[in-house]
Structure 1
Amino acid sequence: MPLPAKAAPRVPESLRDLPPVPQEWGRTSVVLAGSNGEGDAIPLTSVSNTVWPGILIQPGATGLDMPLYQLFSDESPNLDGSIFRSTRASAREIMIPVFLYGVDRPTVNSLKRKLFQALNPRNGYCAIRFTEWSGETRQLAAYYKGGMEGAEGDTAGFTWAKYALNFTAMDPYFYPLSPRSIKWSFGTGDPLLSDSKNLFPMEISEGVLGGDGEPLIIENPGDVEAWPVWDLRGPIRSFQLTSSSGATIKASPPGDSSDLIPAGRTLTIDTRPGRKTVRDDRGTNYWERLDTNPEFWPVAPGSTDALITVVTGSGKSAITLLFHPRYASFI
């Protein structure tokens, strides 16, 4: 026997879920600059009609989102499968199809020569810059490797040509044009003996004593960890930079009670892979002055808790943190 079906209750129109309203968003602009990004900028998205000659990116570009990862594992004769050990992002392979349009033969030849000079890897890498409608620009450093050899027929004509430009980005990540910078100041730098104050009662600033350290939160908007560059401006007698995991970069005070970093000097600790240097602004190597086994720690994506402890000398010191957020894609 059929069962009677009960009608669903009527939902007032005002309570029904409304579909999301699309946000107005313009097109992404793409610019290519050779000679390590210092050459003339060649726009790839600015041609709007056939009146003006230019170079226009075509649909079908590949390799512009998440990079390829290489996995490392071990195998055991007594276990099924493999044991994951580590992973790393591989160099990024990119293909960008472009269309060259000239109003006449000399114009298209001029566009070709402009690209020839910009793409030549002997002149350095090409900076490929993507700017979203919001105005945020991210760039990738990539070396041209092929695709502009040319072929008559369907890929070229008297006033036009099509190429599939192939690049390799040794560093697979996209970067903003400017680094993020955070600065902290420490101590008042009041001397022990003063012409304007009595010796007693004696006053010593917390910055000279070092205190318990300055907790801070570092915001990294990128998709992966970023390796910072620390600039420490003297006078500083000792310092300690500690991450939330306990990794520490530390330098104890000299045995003769002098300043580790004299006034007016700046020590730069570059933690980036392939660099990892500890030098001041005069080129003096401070590596041996760090405490044993320093751990150069990265800034994880999102919020990172850290602790800065600084013992200042007779003067006001400062620490500046700089890092370039790294993005998996240009978006």
Structure 2
Amino acid sequence: MPRLQLESTVDVFDLDDALRKGRGVQALSGVTGLGLPPVSVQWLSGAGDGAIYRGRRVLPRDIDLPLLLEAPDRAELQRLVNRLAVMLAEPCTLRWVEDDGTSWTTSVVRVGGGDYGFGVDTIGETDLLIVITLRAGNPFFTYSVPTRKMIGEQAVIRGLLAGSLTTMNVASSQAIGQIQLENSGDASSFPVWEIVGPGRDFKATSPTGEVLYWRGVLGVGESLFLDASLGTVVDNLGRNRYGELAPAPRFWGIPPGTTTATVSLEDVIPESRILCTWRPRKWMVI
């Protein structure tokens, strides 16, 4: 059965411990904020009737999390409360764990809740009921397992080839072809492109025709990382190579489902590589 987990860099709470172990922190029924996040919709009102839809922006989501803290004695309950307070003082991660061990995460910060009524939300000296409110600035849930497509040499043919490409035409120093992208989420995902040199003039065209075109040069042993989620271009030495992009670059996302993009790289040799990595994202977990 799926379960929630709250974690930081130094601590982890499995929010199913009280039920399974008789002590710990338990997420209770009534959790809200795991569904569709709120949106801000823009409308253009003219002289005529009604209005015209102009787009929307997804807003941060608030998650109300009812918790039961259960311990064998008052001292252990105090330690449990202290651990939770320390964790919630800083940004942390809310993780939805699936039956197969994979998970969906979102980064959260406590923005409210956590108070209690003595004698109302406490049961003796061993149980405490509280509700905390967490805000996820990025309202999407991101999958724990990345999807990767490697485009590179195969032993029998020279050049950049299709393991994950549907078609690939290879000249003596050029590779161009189509790559199939499978996004198992229900929201667009943003890829990270890793280019291993030598090569120059990398171009990636989205299924809808948006173009990301880098016009630089990589030597042997050099690599480049184009992160569509951050809009950054750096090489393996950490140098900013954003200035080598063609005008009006589009760091496009991968839509849900299976789509096809086109990639190309010039001046390649058998050791050249292109690696595309992305993590599916979801609007809601259930």
**Could you say what secondary structure the match of 1:48 adopts?**
helix
Is the Cα–Cα contact under 8 Å of residues 130 and 330 in structure 1 kept in the other structure? yes
Asked if residue 236 in structure 1 is aligned to residue 208 in structure 2, the reply is no
Q: Structure 1 residues 43 and 251 mapped into 2: Cα distance closer, same or farther (>3 Å)?
A: closer
Picking from 177, 201, 217, the partner of 2:180 is 217
**Could you say what secondary structure the match of 2:282 adopts?**
coil
2:166 maps to which residue?
none
Picking from 70, 73, 79, the partner of 1:110 is 79
- Give the aligned length: 273
Question: Once superposed, what is the RMSD of the aligned Cα atoms?
Answer: 2.0
Deviation at 1:168, TM superposition (A): 0.4
1:155 maps to which residue?
121
- Cα distance in 1 for partners of 2:12, 2:281 equals 23
Picking from 217, 226, 232, the partner of 1:269 is 226
- Cα distance in 1 for partners of 2:143, 2:110 equals 21
Asked if residue 29 in structure 1 is aligned to residue 3 in structure 2, the reply is yes
1:227 maps to which residue?
190
CA-to-aligned-CA distance 1:204-255 (integer Å, 9 cap, x gap): x9353325x21121001111111111100000033221112221122347xx
Asked if residue 176 in structure 1 is aligned to residue 143 in structure 2, the reply is yes
Letter in 2 for 1:150: Y
Letter in 2 for 1:222: G
- Cα distance in 1 for partners of 2:67, 2:245 equals 52
Picking from 281, 293, 310, the partner of 2:248 is 293
Q: Structure 1 residues 239 and 281 mapped into 2: Cα distance closer, same or farther (>3 Å)?
A: same
Q: Structure 1 residues 313 and 182 mapped into 2: Cα distance closer, same or farther (>3 Å)?
A: closer
2:211 maps to which residue?
248
Is the Cα–Cα contact under 8 Å of residues 234 and 313 in structure 1 kept in the other structure? yes
- Cα distance in 1 for partners of 2:235, 2:30 equals 48
Picking from 236, 255, 280, the partner of 1:325 is 280
- Cα distance in 1 for partners of 2:17, 2:273 equals 45
1:56 maps to which residue?
26
**Could you say what secondary structure the match of 1:98 adopts?**
strand
**Could you say what secondary structure the match of 2:131 adopts?**
strand
Larger radius of gyration: 1
**Could you say what secondary structure the match of 2:281 adopts?**
coil
1:119 maps to which residue?
88
CA-to-aligned-CA distance 1:133-178 (integer Å, 9 cap, x gap): 2333111211112211332131124221100110000000111123
5+ residue gaps in structure 1? 1-26, 190-204, 254-259
5+ residue gaps in structure 2? 160-168
Letter in 2 for 1:279: V
Deviation at 1:285, TM superposition (A): 2.5
Is the Cα–Cα contact under 8 Å of residues 208 and 311 in structure 1 kept in the other structure? no
Picking from 42, 54, 64, the partner of 2:13 is 42
Deviation at 1:283, TM superposition (A): 2.3
**Could you say what secondary structure the match of 1:47 adopts?**
helix
Is the Cα–Cα contact under 8 Å of residues 152 and 270 in structure 2 kept in the other structure? no
Is the Cα–Cα contact under 8 Å of residues 142 and 170 in structure 1 kept in the other structure? yes
Is the Cα–Cα contact under 8 Å of residues 95 and 106 in structure 2 kept in the other structure? yes
- Cα distance in 1 for partners of 2:215, 2:94 equals 44
- Cα distance in 2 for partners of 1:276, 1:251 equals 13
Give the fraction of aligned pairs with identical amino acids, expressed as a percent. Answer: 26
Deviation at 1:315, TM superposition (A): 4.8
Is the Cα–Cα contact under 8 Å of residues 263 and 315 in structure 1 kept in the other structure? no
Deviation at 1:131, TM superposition (A): 1.4
